[in-house]
Each structure stands twice: as C-alpha cells, then as structure tokens.
Structure 1
Amino acid sequence: MSPSVVYGISNKSSFLVTEPVAANYVNETSRSNGLGDIYFQGEYAFYENSNFKYVDQMTFVGGLTAPTGSAKKDPSTGFGSVSYFLGGTYNRMFVDWFGLVSSGLNVITKHDGMKLGNQYLYQVGLGRN
C-alpha cells in the first residue's frame, strides 16, 4: 500500500508525496512489515503543444527519497539511505489514443559502508481512449 498526495501547483507543475507501507512482505525464508522510504517528487511541463489532432507534453521530473524504511529488514522495506531521482516524460494524446515514454536515473547514496546500485528506470505505454 502506498498512500500518496498530489498537489497541482499550477497548470504546468505538481508535487507528490508517497509513503509506502509494507503490510506483509514475504520471501522464501522470511517476512517483514513497516514503513517504506518516503518519496517526494516534483514535475514541471516545460513543453506543451496542441492542435486539432493531438496534444504533446514533455516534463522534467525530480525526486528525493528519505530513509524512513529499513534496508536491514529481510525483505527490506527501504534503501537505508537518501536517493535522488532525475527523469523526463513525453506523451502524445489523440482523441482515441494515448502514448508515452519516460526514463530516469535513481542515484542511491552510501550509508553505513553499504552502497546499493543505482537504478535506471524506463517505460513505454500505449492506450486507447
């Protein structure tokens, strides 16, 4: 479960806060539960174009994860350190179709001598309205 709040600052920018809650994480040998890492994200639409056929939009996305979860639990409920996210999105919406691509890099910092690997994230989507 990940309760979230989104606030639209303007027509071009928004702010998101998410606090994941692990009700019951299970792997082959153990269980854990508790809070995950809280996530703060800002998004800004730096390009918008529309005509009678479609609407285009491109955004910058920046985020920060604070270590409210635990990397020591098994399975972990968080990274155990601060992480920073930078990415972008592009979407095009027609009357009947919607397409999107997005990518970003999540840089996880070192904590207590442990450094988890960074994450490169991407997605592609297509939908019919």
Structure 2
Amino acid sequence: MTGAIGLAYGSGLYSIGVIGTACVLLAEVLGKYIDQFALHQGRGFSCFILLDGTTDQLRAVIDHLNQRYFKAPLKYTIYNYKDGKVTCRLFGELRPQIRPENIFEDLVWITLKLLN
C-alpha cells in the first residue's frame, strides 16, 4: 500500500494518494477495534499440544476437556506420535462464559495428574 500511495503522489495524482492514505489509516484504526470485538465474541478455541505420553492419555485429556468446556466434542488432529510424545491440534467451540485461560490452567493440572 505504501508503494502504491507513493506512486500516486509521485505521478501527481494527489487526490488518489490522499484517498489511499485515508483508507489505510481508517483500516488501521478500525481493524484494531474489530479484532478486539472478534476476540471477545468468538467462541472458537484452537491450540497445539505436545504431550509426553500415549494416545490413550491424550484421549483422557480430551474427554476431560469435553466434559467441562466445550459445547460439542473437540476435534483433533494428531501430527506426530514418536518416542512417547504426541503432537496434536485441538479445536472446538467453547461453552458460554468459558474463557480460554481457564482451559490452559486446567490443562496443566490434568496432564500432571495423568502422567503421575
């Protein structure tokens, strides 16, 4: 955008340069507020997990999270399972009034409980 606006000014097309500058500034200001609004409204959750354990332990973690935090069962993708480590991505829709911070605190607690 900077290059295009610079070319407009350099070519003597000042009105296009001013309109382009105004559009970029407006997008920057509004974008910040739209992002904040979307973060507070969004119920989607996604995270990557590296678990030292088995797929059975991963299943237990997912079952625990499903019972407490999610509307529908979590979906997950296992990316790697090697040397006793499972790497996966979890994604789902949070229940109302649940914040992602609550999940991460509980995730640490449940994984420590399962592995000990």
What TM-score comes out, normalization by structure 1 length?
0.20
User: TM-score when scaled to structure 2?
Assistant: 0.22
| More helix as a share of residues | 2
Q: Determine which structure has the larger strand proportion and give its number.
A: 1
Higher relative contact order (CA 8 A, sep 6+): 2
